[in-house]
Structure 1
Amino acid sequence: MIVTETGTEAETDARTRRRAMIALFVGVAAKTTAIVGASTAATLIASEIGGAGWSGLPAAANVLGTATGSLLAGTLMARLGKRSALSLMYGLGALGGVIAFLAAVSGVLPLLLVGMVLLGIGNAGAQLARYVAADLYPLARKGFGLSVIVWAGTVGAIAGPALIAPGASVARWLGLPELSGPIAVTTVIVLLAVGATFVLPRGEAVAPVERKSPSMVLSALRRPAVLAPLSAMVAAHVAMVAVMTMTPVQLHDHGHGLDVVGWVIAAHMVGMFALAPLSGKIADRWGGRVTIYLGIGTLILAAVTCVTAPTAHATGLPLALFLLGYGWNLAFVGGSSLLARDLPEAERTRLQGTVDAVVWGSAAFASLSAGPLFAGGGYVLLAVVAGVAALAPLVVFARVRTL
């Protein structure tokens, strides 16, 4: 009888985990699909309105929104539960899509930035979903659990860029600015993410929210168990966001249309997400440190490829953007696995959100810097700076030898 009850409980837990993973996967896949189209279109809209120097602003607004959402996510999840918190964050993302569409039609840059901030808050929910997934798995499989949710971005990698040109065509047919089309598609797809959250199981008992002073948070971030993965994720984001943000502008300046932009970005997005389960298995077997080192090496190779083939839209750039994406993936999964394993459960959600806020805040800086760097020194200079940034975590890891 005891065995039967234990087996039944195990089957129930497995069903609950499977249901939660499907809902998390669908939500992240939808949100990633949406953000790809919105970010690419918004970058080009800003470039048309204000020139190349302004083209990094929408991506910066998006990552600032993601940073803000990440900072608030721990509190939201503690007070509302994971399901309600994700629903709220995705809902704000859908509102951002509506606002960004109105901005694309009217050509008002500040309104576009507001929409991108709200889309970023929705993106924060999608990013933190990987930790929700990791909590569903035992210690030895946490890297795999979170990597499956990162892998959901593969759907966005394929569908997001593929929807850019058709969305633009529909907008032209309707007499609207063509770049408003991908933004409109974004809004519809984010609503799918909202719907997916209602399939999630209802949350557990709400944990009390412990308020911490800024000095306590800074002290926690300086702990080796947090600082090492944080440095890797920050460096990977900075390198990846800087190059990715300006690649559509680089292609556009060399006379390529949205179809070329779409498939080059698709190569990048496939690199970001498609091999995530492999990254998770590497992290589970050889540890987060090794996974991060592999990511740094891949990012450097991507930067070198960008420098040597900055205009090769059919060969060099797709390869470079794929490597850029997978280098980010290795560092992201490796760092996330260290945080999922090594942080005490009582402070895990809050610190994971704070880490993501720092990571996306630094990525906002990269987006803001990318436009002026590109305008002043071109794509090659931008790639060199990104490669140097990717090396920064080696200094931290040289001092932290226990991870």
Structure 2
Amino acid sequence: AFIVGTFCGTLTGALGAFAILHSSFWLFCGATFLGGLYGAVAQSYRFAAADGASVAFRPKAVSWVMAGGVFAGVLGPQLVQWTMDIWPPYLFAFSFVMQALVALVAMAVLSGVDAPKPAAADLHGGRPLLEIAKQPRFIAAALCGVIAYPMMNLVMTSAPLAMKMCGLTVSDSNFGIQWHIVAMYGPSFFTGSLIARFGAPRIVALGLALEAVAAMIGLSGITAPHFWATLFVLGVGWNFAFVGASALVLETHRPQERNKVQAFNDFLVFGMMAIGSFSSGQLLAHYGWNAVNWVVFPPVLLGLAVLSLASFARRRAKLRALEEIPDPSI
């Protein structure tokens, strides 16, 4: 499955370059659709690593896999910067060729990974998905993921366009996106340890709060440093919220339920992200950069409220369980 995904990534680069060279918008849309398939598979790496880890190490496993994005943050924008003008006047055409080559490298790495095929007993059984999805813990985890990722994506995809509208350069945008991606994945080196120490709900809450802070920075000015600070804080907030929410999901299912629960969670998160991506351009074009930032606040407040309620319900359930334990002295 992972190698098929990287093959889609290779097709993305090849088809994207071809579309640019032939000025075909719809072919370019097809290329980005294949890029979405590549991204969907890549998002499953974190759960694959967690499934092969002990219960105590799972948050760190998710975190370490996400830390690989630091290299993307450094190399990705630089590859674009170095290659976007190689085939004038076809801006970015050669950048897509490089993207195809990077996907081939990923395919070569994945071909050496030993991920045993799950036993037939692990693919069936367990509770119905609806029963699992009704758990307050799962609702909070899924909702926080649904809020953290789409809100980050909404602001991130709008920022380069807003920077251009404000008279800033492509280099300014590349610099901002580069540090945004570093901020998205850099904290992963210690996010797992923070989750192990303070618990996933607190880290998720911190991440959502930071996304709100990023929106406040975005509302405070339209200079390049304002955009850069917005994107950087937004990336750190996304990391805490998304990694923490992923760790929460792992607490809501049994081993034989993992495939359907993880897939359902990602369907919710990335389905909403797709809606956010379509909305960001329209929102920016019709209402401006400030409106994009104002949209962040209501979902973040909703996520914090649901997370608090789920944590309160969990504490009450633990207290009831303790009260039901008979006193050994009686």
TM-score under structure 1 length normalisation:
0.73
SS in 2 for 1:349: helix
Q: How do 1:232-381 and structure 2 match up within 5 A?
A: 232-309=144-221, 311-313=222-224, 315-381=225-291
CA deviation after TM superposition for structure 1 residue 207, in Å = 3.0
Q: Percent identity among equivalent residues?
A: 24
Code of the aligned partner of 1:287? G
- TM-superposition CA deviations, 1:211-248 (whole Å, max 9, x none): 99xxx544432322321111111101121011101111
Code of the aligned partner of 1:328? W
CA deviation after TM superposition for structure 1 residue 303, in Å = 0.4
Q: Which residue number in structure 1 is paired with residue 321 of structure 2?
A: none
Please point out which of 76, 93, 102 is paired with 1:189: 102
Count of aligned pairs: 312
- TM-superposition CA deviations, 1:14-67 (whole Å, max 9, x none): xxxxxxxxxxxxxxxxxxxxxxxxxxxxxxxxxxxxxxxxxxxxxxxxxxxxxx
SS in 1 for 2:87: helix
- TM-superposition CA deviations, 1:181-231 (whole Å, max 9, x none): 32222111111111111110151444354499xxx5444323223211111
State yes or no: 1:100 paired with 2:16. Answer: yes
Greater Rg over alpha carbons, structure: 2
Code of the aligned partner of 2:161? V
- 8 Å contact 1:162–1:263 — kept in the other structure? no
Partner Cα distance (2:258, 2:300) in 1:
26
Partner Cα distance (1:255, 1:124) in 2:
34
- 8 Å contact 1:225–1:343 — kept in the other structure? no
Structure 1 moving runs of 4+ over 6 Å? none
Q: Which residue number in structure 2 is paired with residue 47 of structure 1?
A: none
TM-score under structure 2 length normalisation:
0.89
Q: Which residue number in structure 2 is paired with residue 69 of structure 1?
A: none
CA deviation after TM superposition for structure 1 residue 288, in Å = 0.8
- 8 Å contact 2:20–2:93 — kept in the other structure? yes
- TM-superposition CA deviations, 1:337-362 (whole Å, max 9, x none): 11223310001122112211110110
Q: How do 1:219-238 and structure 2 match up within 5 A?
A: 219-238=131-150
Please tell me the root mean square deviation across aligned C-alpha atoms, in Å: 2.0
Question: Which deviates the most, 250-259 or 260-269?
Answer: 250-259
- 8 Å contact 2:132–2:252 — kept in the other structure? no
- 8 Å contact 1:139–1:341 — kept in the other structure? no
CA deviation after TM superposition for structure 1 residue 97, in Å = 2.2
- 8 Å contact 1:279–1:333 — kept in the other structure? yes
SS in 2 for 1:342: coil
SS in 1 for 2:227: helix
CA deviation after TM superposition for structure 1 residue 277, in Å = 2.3
Code of the aligned partner of 1:345? P
- TM-superposition CA deviations, 1:121-154 (whole Å, max 9, x none): 1111211101111123221221111100101000
Partner Cα distance (2:50, 2:144) in 1:
19
Please point out which of 10, 28, 34 is paired with 1:112: 28
Code of the aligned partner of 2:96? I
Partner Cα distance (1:182, 1:221) in 2:
41
State yes or no: 1:144 paired with 2:50. Answer: no
Code of the aligned partner of 2:263? G
Partner Cα distance (1:234, 1:181) in 2:
34
Code of the aligned partner of 1:153? G
- 8 Å contact 2:124–2:256 — kept in the other structure? no
Q: Which residue number in structure 1 is paired with residue 320 of structure 2?
A: none
CA deviation after TM superposition for structure 1 residue 268, in Å = 0.7
CA 171–389 in structure 1, closer or farther in 2 if over 3 Å, else same? farther
Partner Cα distance (1:223, 1:292) in 2:
18
- 8 Å contact 1:164–1:258 — kept in the other structure? no
CA deviation after TM superposition for structure 1 residue 256, in Å = 2.8
Question: Which deviates the most, 139-148 or 340-349?
Answer: 340-349
Query: Structure 2: which 5+ residue stretches go unaligned?
Result: 316-330
